[in-house]
């Protein structure tokens, strides 16, 4: 086991950080551990505050780094910086903003291995998945480097012929971006790239569990020439106080949040005071429908992707496998075999296909959901004993889960496949929509008309037909019902950071 040796430099960069716990784990790149405000890496302004923010490796529980713990006064400084930089950033040419994003795409792609190593170290996912996240995250930079020049308006003669109407699109203003721990890079680029393309400045608050990736990415943005104050980063163990301070500041005009529905609701209430524009990417409860006429091998492959990407810790993870009773036995056996074949271990070991969960608390929550589903009558097809005090959870498969069980009503966020039988297409669609969530749904069938009915019937913002993954920078990601407001990715993602101004003059 190697120990972590780090030294803070004046620039706030750690000079030498090593992952502990496995010889297979590579050295990590130097990562900033300070706050980024107005282009400076700096300490907190809070006096007499003793708390610090330690970042742990979920595979070993060892401390990877200690980052600066922002207080509310730092939040005000970050808003000062974002607000001061706004006018000049909004006036840069769209081409200039696009080229800066393109440069960030190139550099991030060149540094895939560094970013993948940091993501794995602080979040736990296997290196191959971290590399995939870097590709996914980089695509938002590339996509919005191209979209920056396409914030088009309209022009029209009024129907009565008396005036001419022109609409223009203008940046909404300084924006607060709050990102989750499960995709620490991609969720940051998915928000930062359209905000910058639109001409907005931002304050980014990454999740407490995974701030290092965001800090490394913001260092990259400064390296490619982003002007001071355009992107500011606050790492904090007091998100409530820091976020409240920002949302209470009238200079902030927009909030974009990815996280749970519960927290989203609180943030929406807090945003009402300032009548903020909001984008909310909240929890899911994805149904994964398998009809009797599905290509079973394809459905099982899709199920593994939809369930195990990110260890099931994704809002688009398949949460309820709703399977025609006639093929439930065959589907369950094939899925169990694939889930059983996963290699569970530290993400930095190249053999690992399933890393630890983000922490012991989340692992224990998932294990409790499994226990209660079994008490309610579900049949455990795969369930290894859970080791106390560890963040690892081996894949679990539960068959014939009762629709009233608590596992059916909430995001499992773990490598747990819960299978529910259905006897008719109508029942399948009814079960699928029997939830407040409406993010994504999946359906497998070889009948085109049935797939079309599934696309229409599923009450969600995204549908995967005969595929278990819909996430793509060029597609509008978002949900209906309690899964959120607005869309990220695609041209729709840019609109979230633009206001329409209408100008009228007589003709
Ligand atoms: C999420 O889990 O919040 C996002 C997942 C994705 O973009 O695929």
Which atom of ligand 1 sits closest to the CA of residue 310?
2
What distance in angstroms lies between residue 135's CA and the mean position of ligand 1's atoms?
14
Which residue in the list 281, 425, 459, 496 is annotated as catalytic? 281
What distance in angstroms lies between residue 470's CA and the mean position of ligand 1's atoms?
10
Q: What is the pLDDT of residue 19?
A: 37
Name the residue among 148, 207, 202 with its Cα closest to residue 174.
202
Q: Which residues line ligand 1 (CB under 6 A)?
A: 180, 182-183, 258, 314-316, 471, 477
Q: What is the pTM of this model?
A: 0.95
Q: Look at ligand 1, atom 8, and give the residue with the nearest C-alpha.
A: 471
CA angle 258–39–487, rounded 5-degree value: 20
What distance in angstroms lies between residue 464's CA and the mean position of ligand 1's atoms?
14
Ligand 1, residues 119, 137, 183: which to mutate, most atoms within 8 A of Cβ? Answer: 183
Residue 501 main-chain phi, psi, to 5 deg: -115, 135
**Mode of pairing for the β-strands spanning 440-444 and 462-465:** parallel
**Residue 59 in tokens:** 């595979």
pLDDT digit string (tens) for the chain, length 507 residues:
222 323 333 333 333 343 334 444 657 999 999 999 999 999 999 876 667 799 999 999 999 999 999 999 999 999 999 999 999 999 999 999 999 999 999 999 999 999 999 999 999 999 999 999 999 999 999 999 999 999 889 999 999 999 999 999 999 999 999 999 999 999 999 999 999 999 999 999 999 999 999 999 999 999 999 999 999 999 999 999 999 999 999 999 999 999 999 999 999 999 999 999 999 999 999 999 999 999 999 999 999 999 999 999 999 999 999 999 999 999 999 999 999 999 999 999 999 999 999 999 999 999 999 999 999 999 999 999 899 999 999 999 999 999 999 999 999 999 999 999 999 999 999 999 999 999 999 999 999 999 999 999 999 999 999 999 999 999 999 999 999 999 999 999 999 999 999 999 999
Q: Is 209 a catalytic residue?
A: no
Which residue in the list 315, 348, 411, 460 is annotated as catalytic? 315
Place of tokens 């993948």: 116
What distance in angstroms lies between residue 187's CA and the mean position of ligand 1's atoms?
7
SS (H, E, C) 35-72: EEECCEEECCCCCCCCCCEEEECCCCCCEEEEECCCCH
| CA–CA gap between residue 392 and residue 381 (Å, rounded) | 19
In order of start, what are the domains of the chain with their CATH numbers? 22-282+487-500 (3.40.605.10), 286-473 (3.40.309.10)
């Amino acid at each position: 086991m190697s120990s972590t040796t780090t030294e803070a430099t004046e620039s706030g960069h750690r000079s030498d950080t090593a992952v502990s716990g496995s010889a297979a784990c590579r050295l990590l790149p130097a990562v900033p551990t300070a706050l980024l405000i107005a282009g400076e890496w700096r300490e907190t302004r809070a006096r007499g505050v003793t708390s610090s923010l330690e970042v742990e490796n979920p595979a070993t529980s060892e401390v990877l780094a200690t980052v600066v713990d922002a207080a509310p006064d730092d939040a005000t400084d970050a808003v000062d910086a974002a607000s001061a930089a706004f006018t000049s950033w909004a006036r840069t040419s769209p081409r200039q903003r696009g080229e800066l994003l393109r440069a960030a795409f190139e550099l991030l792609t060149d540094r895939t291995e560094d970013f993948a190593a940091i993501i794995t170290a602080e979040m736990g996912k296997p290196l191959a998945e971290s590399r995939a996240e870097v590709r996914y995250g980089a695509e938002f930079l590339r996509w919005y480097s191209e979209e920056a020049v396409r914030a088009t308006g309209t022009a029209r003669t009024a129907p009565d012929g008396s005036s001419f109407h022109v609409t223009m699109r203008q940046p909404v203003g300084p924006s607060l971006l709050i990102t989750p721990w499960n995709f620490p890079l991609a969720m940051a680029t998915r928000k930062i790239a359209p905000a910058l393309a639109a001409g907005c400045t931002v304050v980014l608050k990454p999740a407490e569990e995974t701030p290092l990736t965001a800090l490394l990415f913001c260092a990259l943005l400064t390296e490619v020439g982003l002007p001071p104050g355009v992107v500011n980063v606050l790492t904090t163990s007091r998100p409530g106080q820091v976020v409240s301070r920002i949302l209470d500041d009238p200079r902030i005009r927009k909030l974009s949040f990815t996280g749970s529905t519960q927290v989203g609701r609180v943030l929406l209430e807090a945003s009402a005071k300032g009548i903020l524009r909001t984008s909310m990417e909240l929890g899911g409860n994805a149904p994964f429908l398998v009809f009797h006429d599905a290509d079973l091998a394809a459905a099982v492959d899709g199920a593994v992707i939809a369930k195990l990407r990110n260890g099931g810790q994704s809002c688009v993870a398949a949460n309820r496998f709703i399977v025609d009773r006639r093929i439930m036995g065959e589907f369950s056996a094939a899925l169990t075999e694939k889930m059983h074949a996963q290699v569970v271990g530290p993400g930095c070991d190249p053999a690992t296909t399933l890393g630890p969960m983000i922490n012991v608390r989340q692992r224990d929550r998932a294990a409790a959901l499994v226990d209660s589903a079994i008490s309610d009558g579900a049949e455990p097809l795969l369930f290894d004993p859970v080791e106390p005090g560890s963040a690892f959870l081996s894949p679990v498969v539960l068959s014939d889960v009762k629709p009233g069980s608590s596992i059916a009503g909430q995001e499992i966020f773990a490598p747990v496949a819960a299978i529910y039988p259905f006897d008719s297409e109508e029942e399948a669609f009814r079960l699928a929509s029997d939830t407040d969530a409406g993010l994504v749904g999946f359906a497998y069938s070889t009948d085109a008309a049935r797939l079309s009915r599934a696309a229409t019937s599923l009450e969600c913002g995204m549908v995967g037909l005969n595929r278990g993954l819909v996430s793509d920078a060029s597609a509008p990601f978002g949900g209906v019902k309690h899964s959120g407001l607005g869309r990220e990715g695609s041209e729709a993602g840019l609109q979230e950071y633009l206001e329409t101004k209408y100008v009228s003059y007589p003709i």
